[in-house]
Amino acid sequence: MTIVERIENDINSNRVMLYMKGIPAAPMCGFSDTVVKILQQLGVEFGSANVLEDTELREGIKNFSDWPTIPQLYVDGNFIGGCDIVVEMYQSGELQSLLQARDA
């Protein structure tokens, strides 16, 4: 399986998928920690992948999304953004609407 296939599989297998540094129980950077806390506050189930454990994944996800930083959040197969974008969307209520859209 190529790195692109692995990423596509992750994104298609998890409605909400977070590529982060560390794991949800122990984020290894403040930005990853912020996104995890927002998702947990919203009660969202999400898959995650620790890019620190896999150099190929760390570089592959940046190329896949054409986004240079981690964390990266995907919802319903679409790239949402990194920490700043997730925080802005959370504060505006847009993230909550996006996450509830399919549940309604």
Amino acid 102: pLDDT: 62
Q: Total structural domains in the chain?
A: 1
Amino acid 101: pLDDT: 73
Rounded Cα distance between 38 and 63, Å, is 25
The whole-number average pLDDT for the span 20-26 is 98
Task: Give domain status of residue 103, yes or no.
Answer: no
**pLDDT tens digits along 63-104:** 999 999 999 999 999 999 999 999 999 999 999 999 987 654
Task: Give domain status of residue 100, yes or no.
Answer: no
Residue 72, phi then psi, degrees to nearest 5: -135, 130
Q: What is the DSSP letter of 69?
A: S
Amino acid 104: pLDDT: 45
Task: Give domain status of residue 29, yes or no.
Answer: yes
- Say which residue the tokens 């930005």 belong to: 31
Task: Give domain status of residue 101, yes or no.
Answer: no
**pLDDT tens digits along 35-73:** 999 999 999 999 999 999 999 999 999 999 999 999 999
- Evaluate the CA torsion angle 93, 88, 17, 63 in order and state its sign: positive
CATH at 46? 3.40.30.10
The residue segments making up the domain with residue 22 are: 3-93
Residue 32, phi then psi, degrees to nearest 5: -65, -40
Residue 34: burial class (beta carbons within 10 Å; 0-12, 13-18, 19+): middle
Task: Give domain status of residue 99, yes or no.
Answer: no
pTM: 0.95
